[in-house]
Amino acid sequence: MNNKDTLEVKNLSAQYGLVPAIDNISLSVKKGSVTTLIGANGAGKSTVIKAICGLVKPSAGTVELFGETVTGLSPDQMVTRGLAVVPEGRRLFGSMTVLENLELGAYARNDETEIKEDLTRILDLFPDLKDRLAEPAKSFSGGQQQMIAVARALMSAPRILLLDEPTVGLSPVFVDRIAKIIRDISSRGVDILLVEQNVQVALSISDYGYVLENGRVSLNDTAENLVKDEGVQAAYLGG
Amino acid sequence: MANYQIPSWVIFSIFAVLASQYFSGSHSASILNSIAIAALLAGSLRFVMLIGELNFAIAAFVGIGAYSAGVATTMLDISFFLAILTSGVAASLISMVFGSITLRSGGPYFLLIGFAFTEAMRIVYSKTDVLGQTSGMVGIFPPIEFDDWLSLFVIIICLGLLFLMYVIEKSQFGTIFKSIRDNSDVTRTVGINVLYWKVVCFAIASFCAGIAGALQAFVNNVISPGDFGYLLAVFALAYVKVGGESSIAGSILGAIFLVVLSEFALALGAGEHIFYGAAIVIAVLFMREGIVGLVSSTISWITKTRASKEERV
Amino acid sequence: MELVFQLLITTLQISAVYILFSLGLTLIFGVMQIVNFAHGHYFAISALVVVYLMPWLVEAGFPASAAYILSGLIGIAAAVLVGLATYQFGFRHFQRDMVGSFILSVGFVLLFDGLFLESFGGASRSVPSIVEGTVSVFGAAITGQRLLLCFAAILTAFALYLVLMKSKLGSALRAVSIDQEAAMLQGVPYNKIAFSGFLLAAGLAGIAGALIAPVSIVTPAIGADYIVKGFIAVIIGGLGSIPGAVIGALFVAFVEAFGGYYYGASTATLAIFFLVIAFLLFKPKGLFGNG
Amino acid sequence: MNSEQTPLLSGRQLERRFGGLLAVSELDIDLYPGEILGLIGPNGAGKSTTFNLLSGFYPPTGGELYVMGERCTGKSPTKISRKGLVRTFQHGSLMPSMSVRDNILLGTMHQLSGRRRIERIARTEETAEMLGLSAFLEEVAGVLPHGLQRLVSIGIAFASRPKILCLDEPLTGLNHTEASSALHVFERIRGEFGCSILLVEHNMKAVMKICDRMVVLHHGKPIAAGRAEDIQSNEEVISIYLGRLDDE
C-alpha cells in the first residue's frame, strides 16, 4: 500500500466541551507534501488537530495514518506510530531545561545513539538553542519557545508533523524563520499538516490547502489557486 | 418564592420529639443525642461544601465550642443557655480569623491546613493548665431541671440549627455560596466580594460546630483533647457522603443510618474505625449520591417500569 | 557548639525522612491531582513490619543487621503492596478529582487504622539495636545506629532526587505534573506513568518507615503524625513542586529539632503550624505553587 | 467622535509583563458613553490580557486605569465591578449547576443589595425577557445548548445594569440566527439602557456591523483605531490578518 496517503481523515466530527464542534471534516495529507488548514479564529482548526492526534475523542469519522486506522488512539500511541504534534500555545515544560524538553520529545524511542545524532542534527537547525540547553524553557522569548516546541516534536523522529498555529504572536522575523524551518523539515522527508491563521505565510509554503469555516471545510484547492481566491479574504475580514 | 418544605420538617421534628420521649432509657437516649449531634456536624460540614471547600478544621471548632462550654460552666458560672451561645460565638469568631487567611488559598491548601489546625488545637488543650491538660475537663453538667429533658433539648437545638442552615441555603445567600463554588470569577465580576462571603459561610458553619461541641460537652459531662481529633471530621464526612451530599436530608439520614448501624456493628465486635472506614470507601466507590441518591433513583426506576408496563398494556 | 551540631544531625535525619515522605506526596499530587491521606499508612505498615519481624528474626538466630535488612525489605514490599491495592481498587478511578480522592483516602485511613490496631495491637514497640556503640563527631556523641540510619535516609533522599531530576521516568513524571496533555503528545503513556509514580511514592514511604522504625517508638498510629508534617512541608513548598517539598521538609525538620529541644516537642509542632498559617498569608500557594 | 465627552473607561499606557514576556504595552484605550467599541486583532495579539487588565483580574505592570473617571489602577475585580464595569469570560462564563434564574439573580445581588427580594426577582425576569430566556428560567444552566449558555452569561453581567459591559467573544459558537439576535440584544442594551459596550470578537462581519469604532491590537500594541470602513481598508490591518512575508 505504498501509494496510500500519509494521513487520511474521513468525515471527522467532534464535540469539544462548549467550544464549537467540527462537522464532517475530510482531508488528506499526501506523501511528500505540506498541507495547510486555514481559517479564522474559532473556526475549529485546533479541534481538527486534537481529534486527529487523540486529545479529543472524535464523535464520528475515521483517521488513517499510513493506511492504518488509528481513530481514537491516545496521543502517546500516535507518537509511536510516527505522528508528532507541535501544539497550540507551544505547551513547553516551562520549569524544565531545554535539553530536558528535547529529551522528552524522544521519550518513545529507545535507540540511544540515534537519538544523540538526531539531537545534534536538530540543534543545527536551531542554532539559538545550542548554547542555552541548560536554561529553563520559560526563560526564552516567544519566538525561541516556538523553536523549542518544533525541535521537541522533531525529536520523536516523526514521519508526519502536525503544527498548530506556530506563528501566533510572533514578530515578522520569527514568522519568516518558522516558515523556512517548516520547508526545511519537509525537504527532509517529513510530511506536514500546518494549521494557520496567517494565510499568506501558510499558503506560501504549502502545496495544498483547506479553508475551514464554522467547523466545516468551505474550500479546498492547491495553494497557488487559494492565494488568488477572493473567498479566502472574505472568510477572514468579513468583507 | 423559595419552597422551604415546611411540612417535611414539621413531620420529621414531631417524630424526633416523640422518639426522644419514647426512648427515655439512658442508653437509647444517648444514641439519640449522638444522632442529633452527628447530624448537626454533618450539616455544618456540608454547609461549607456549598462554597466548594472541605472543612477539616470542623473538629477544631467543635473542640473550641466544647471547651468554651466547659470553661463557662465550671469556672465562670455562666448560665446554661448563655454558655451554649458563647460556645457558638467563640468558635465562630476564631473561624473568621482562621478563615480570612486560609480561604484565600482554598482547595487542598485549606483542607490540609484545617487538618493541621485540628491537631494544633489538640496540643493547645493538652498544654493549657486551666483546660485540664491531657486529662481534660470534668463536671460539665446541665442544670438539674434539665435531667429529664436534655435529650429533647439537644434534638430541638440541633434540628433548629439544621433548619437555619437549610433556610440560608435556600435564600439568596445560598445562591451566592453556590455561585462561588461553581464559578468564583463570574461571581467576582458582578461586584460580590468572594472572600467575604466565603468567610461568612465558614463562620456560620463554625457557629453550628461550636454549639455541637457545647452540646456534646453537656451530654457527656466530660471532655478531653482526644475527643476532638481529625476523626471527628472524618465521621462527619462519612455521614455526609453516605447520606448523600446533594441535600441536607442526606446529612441527617447519613447520621441516623451510620450511628445506629455502628451501634450494632460495635456490639458484634467490629472496630469503629473499620466500620466507618468501610462505610466511606463503599459510599465513595459504589454510591456516589449516597442513600438519598439510591432512594430517588429507585423511585424513578419504579415509576419508569410502571409507566413502561402501562404502555405495554 | 556541640549541642548545635547534635541538633543539626537530628535536623538532617528527620528532614531526610520527611523528604522521602513529602516527595512522595507532592509527586502523586502533581501527577494524578489527588490528595492521599492514606500515604501515612504505607509508611506505618513498613515500620510495623520491621518492629514485629526483626525481634522475631533475631530470636530465630539471625544477626541483628541481617534481620533488620530482611525485615526492612519485607516492610517496603508490604508498603508497595498496600499502595498497589489502594491504587487499583480506588485512586485509579479518582485521578484529577481532589475532593473525591481525599474522601476516599480518608476512608482508607480509617480502615487501615482499624486493621492495624486489630492485627498489631495498640502497644508501642521498639527493635533491638543494630549497631552497638557511639561515635564522636566534632565532639558530639551520637549512637552509631542513629548515624548509620541518618546516612541511609540522606542517601535515599538524594538518590530519589537524582531519579526525579535525571532519569527518564523522573522527567516523565515531572512533565506529566506540569502538563499532562503535552506530555502525552511527546509519547509519554500517562496511565503507566501515573501507576509507576504512585508505586514509587508508596515505596518511598515504606523506605522512610523502615528507616525510622529503629530510632523511634512505633505504634499503629505512627502514620498520622508524619502525614500532617509531610503535608505541611508540601504546602510550604507549593503542592506539586519537587524543590518545594525538599525545602519544606528541611524547614519542618529544623523547627522540630531546634524548637523541640529548647521548648518541647508539642510547642515545636504548634510553632510549625502557626508559621505555616503566617506563611500562607504572604504566599497563598506556597513557595513554588502555581494556581 | 465624542471628543468633548469624558470617557467612562480609559487606559493610559497600560502594560503587562509575564516574566520576560511583554503581553500588552503602550495601550491607550478610551470608551465613551453610549459607544460600542470593538477590540480586534489576530490570535495572541493580547486581547484577553487587555480584558483582564481593564477588569482588574491582572494588575498592570505599568500605566494607569480609570473607570468612571476614578483611578482604578491595581484595584480588585470586585471593586472595579462596583464602579459599573462588568465583564464576561470567553469560556464557561456562568454557574453550570445552578438554574438560569439563580444565575441571572446573582447579577442583581450586589447592585440591588439592601432592596427587597421582589425587586431582584423583577430585575431577573426583565433581564431574561430581554435576552429571550424567559422560557428557560428553571433549567439548569450547564445543560443548556451552547448558544443559550452564551446568552445566560450576558444575562448575568447585564443584570447588574453596568455602565460598561465588556464582552469576551460573545458570538463564538453561535449559529447565524443566534448571532444576529445577540447583536440585536447588544443594540438594545446600548439603546435602552445607555450602556457602553467593549467587544472582543473574531466574527468580523458582526464587529464591522455593530461597532462604532474599533481598536486593532497586534503584538500587544494598538496599531490602528477608527471606524469600520477605515479599518477594513487599512493596509497594515489587512496584512496582519492575512499575514505577510518579507519581500523575497
- CATH classification at residue D39: 3.40.50.300
Using the Cβ of B17 and the Cβ atoms of chain C, whether some distance falls under 8 Å is answered with no
Domains identified in chain D, total number: 2
Helix axes C222-237, C2-32, angle to 10 degrees: 80
The reported pLDDT for the residue numbered C195 is 95
Q: How buried is C113 (Cβ within 10 angstroms: 0-12 exposed, 13-18 middle, 19+ buried)? A: buried
Phi/psi for B23 (5° steps) reads -90, 75
Looking at the structure, tell me whether residues D122 and D4 fall in a common domain.
no
Contacts of A207 (CB under 8 A, 6+ apart): A30, A33, A34, A35, A222, A223
Give backbone dihedrals phi and psi of D223, rounded to 5 degrees, phi first: -115, -15
Q: What are phi and psi of C93, to 5 degrees?
A: -90, 0
CA nearest to C20, candidates C210, C224, C270, C238:
C210
CA contacts within 13 A on the Cβ side of A81: 20
pLDDT digits (tens, 9 = 90+) for A160-200: 999 998 988 777 788 889 999 999 999 999 999 999 878 88
Residue D81: half-sphere exposure toward Cβ, Cα within 13 Å: 28
Domain check: are D171 and D149 in the same one? no
For range A61-87, the mean pLDDT = 94
The C-alpha cell of D110 is what?
Answer: 450586589
C-alpha cell at position A32: 511528500
List chains adjacent to chain B, taking adjacency as at least 3 C-beta pairs closer than 8 Å: C, D
Answer whether residue D112 shows pLDDT above 80. Answer: no
Tell me the three cell numbers of residue C237: 513548598
Q: Using a CB-CB distance cutoff of 8 angstroms, which residues of chain B are in contact with residue C273?
A: 116-117, 119-120
Rounded-to-integer distance, Cα C177 and Cα C242, Å: 10
Question: How high is the pLDDT of residue B70?
Answer: 92
- D164 and B CB contact within 8 Å: no
Mutate to test the interface with D, among A198, A203, A230 (most CBs of D within 10 A): A198
* Residue A190: predicted pLDDT: 94
Cβ neighbours of A169 in D, within 8 Å: 43-45, 219
Contact B186 D94 (CB under 8 A): yes
| Domains of chain A and CATH, by start | 7-90+158-237 (3.40.50.300)
Q: β-strand C134-137 against D62-67: which pairing, if any?
A: unpaired
Q: Where are the domains of chain C?
A: 19-223
Contact across the interface for D243 and A198, Cβ inside 8 Å: yes
Residues D104 and D171 in one domain: no
- Do D194 and D142 sit in the same domain of this protein? no
D137 and D151 share one domain = yes
Per-residue H/E/C for D120-131: HHHHHHHHHHHH
Model confidence at D247: pLDDT above 60: no
Q: Which cell numbers hold the place of A33? A: 507534501
As a whole number of angstroms, the distance between CA B204 and CA B188 comes to 21
Dihedral sign computed on CA atoms, order A143, A148, A153, A154: positive
D243 vs D17, which has greater pLDDT? Answer: D17
Residue D234, C-alpha cell as written in the block: 487599512
Cβ distance B55 to B109 under 8 Å?
no
Identity of residue C84: L
Are the Cβ atoms of A18 and D92 closer than 8 angstroms? Answer: yes
Contact map slice: B 106-145 vs C, CB within 8 A: 107-109, 111-113, 115-117, 119-120, 123-124, 126-127
Secondary structure (3-state) at D35: coil
Share of chain C above pLDDT 90, in %: 38
Cell numbers 479564529 correspond to what residue? A41
Q: Name the one residue in this structure whose C-alpha cell is 520569527.
A: A174
Burial of B300 per CB tally in 10 Å (0-12, 13-18, 19+): exposed
- Confidence band, pLDDT 50/70/90 cuts, at residue A233: low
Domain carrying residue D95: 88-160
- What is the reported pLDDT for C288? 82
The three cell numbers locating residue A197: 491563521
Which residues have a Cβ under 8 Å from the Cβ of C117 and sit 6 or more positions away?
B271, B273, C220
Q: Are D46 and D234 in contact (CB under 8 A)?
A: no
Give A165's contacts in chain D (Cβ within 8 Å): 43
Query: Residue C106's beta-bridge partner residues?
Result: none
- CB proximity A237 to D under 8 Å: yes
Measure the CA angle with vertex B206, ends B205 and B207; round to 5°: 90
**Taking the CB of residue D221, how many other CB atoms lie within 10 A of it?**
16
Q: Which amino acid does the sequence have at A214?
A: N
Which three three-digit cell numbers place residue C69?
A: 535488612
**A and C touching (3 or more beta-carbon pairs closer than 8 Å):** yes
- Please answer yes or no on whether D157 and B192 come within 8 Å at the CB atom: no
Query: Which residue among B172, B186, B191 sits closest to D95, beta carbon to beta carbon?
Result: B186
Query: Given CB atoms, is B297 within the 8 Å cutoff of chain D?
Result: no
Beta bridge mates, D87: D166
CA of B171 vs chain C CAs: smallest distance (Å): 26
The residues in D 134-163 lying below 8 A from B, measured between CB atoms, are 153, 156-157, 159-160
- CB distance D199 to D37 below 8 Å: yes
Domain boundaries, chain B: 6-312
pLDDT score, position B67:
95
Cβ of D226: how many Cβ atoms within 10 Å? 15
C173 at A interface, C-beta within 8 A: no
Q: What is the pTM of this model?
A: 0.84
CA separation, residue C172 to residues A116, A148, A155, C288 (Å): 19, 17, 15, 19
Amino acid letter at B189?
A: T
CA distances from D24 to A53, A169, B213, D35, D45 (A): 33, 11, 54, 23, 8
| pLDDT tens track for D127-172 | 999 998 999 999 899 888 878 888 999 999 999 999 999 999 888 7
Q: Are residues D176 and D220 in the same domain?
A: yes
**Alpha-carbon distance A126 to A196, whole Å?**
21
**A201 in D contact zone (CB under 8 Å):** yes
Q: Could you report the predicted ipTM of this complex, rounded to two decimals?
A: 0.80
Inform me whether the C-beta atom of residue D74 falls under 8 Å from chain B C-beta atoms: no
Q: How high is the pLDDT of residue B146?
A: 78
Over 70: is that where the pLDDT of A42 sits? Answer: no
Tell whether B241 lies on the interface with C, counting CB pairs under 8 A: yes
* CA–CA distance, C52 with D145 (Å, rounded to integer): 62
List all residues 6 or more positions away from B292 whose beta carbon is below 8 Å from its beta carbon.
B243, B244, B246, B247, B249, B250, B253
Say if the Cβ atoms of D92 and B183 lie within 8 Å: yes
- Please give, rounded to a whole number of angstroms, the shortest distance from the CA of C165 to a CA of chain B: 25
pLDDT at residue D2 tops 50: no
Counted residue by residue, chain D has a size of: 248
Cβ pair C175:A93 closer than 8 A? yes
Cβ contact (<8 Å) for D204 and A138? no
Tell me: do D189 and D80 sit in the same domain.
yes
Contact residues for A80 (Cβ-Cβ < 8 A; gap 6+): A108, C187
Is residue B192 within 8 Å of B93, Cβ to Cβ? no
On average, the pLDDT of chain A sits at 88
pLDDT in the model for residue B208: 96
* Alpha-carbon distance values, C128 to C51, C214, C223 (Å): 9, 8, 22
pLDDT score at D3:
52
Q: C-alpha cell of C287?
A: 513557595
Mean pLDDT on D202-216 = 86
Beta bridge partners of A210: A37, A220
The three cell numbers of residue C46 are 513498613
Query: pLDDT for B6-39, tens place per residue?
Result: 888 888 888 887 887 777 777 778 888 889 999 9
Question: What is the reported pLDDT for A19?
Answer: 53
CB contact under 8 A, D94 and B178: no
Q: Are residues D182 and D202 in the same domain?
A: yes
Predicted pLDDT of residue B276: 83
Residue A157 half-sphere exposure toward CB, CA atoms < 13 A? 16
Q: Which residues of chain C have pLDDT under 50?
A: 291
Report pLDDT for D241: 66
- Asked if residue D101 and residue D3 are part of one domain, the reply reads no
- Residues A152, A154, A159, A161: is their CA dihedral positive or negative? positive
Q: Which three cell numbers stand for residue A64?
A: 488513517
- Mention the CATH class of domain B6-312: mainly alpha
Q: Which residues of chain B have pLDDT under 70?
A: 1-2, 269-270, 311-313
List the single residue in C171, C187, C190 with the smallest CB-CB distance to A80. C187
The reply to whether residue B186 touches residue D89, judged by beta carbons under 8 angstroms, is yes
The shortest C-alpha distance from A41 to chain D (Å) reads 6
Is the CB of B113 less than 8 angstroms away from the CB of C112?
no
Q: Report the percentage of chain D scoring pLDDT > 70.
A: 94
Residue from the list A76, A91, A96 with its beta carbon closest to the beta carbon of C188:
A76
pLDDT value at D212 more than 50: yes
Q: Please tell me what DSSP assigns to residue C259.
A: I
- The terminus-to-terminus CA distance of chain D in angstroms comes to 41
Q: Which residues contact B269 (CB under 8 A, 6 or more apart)?
A: none
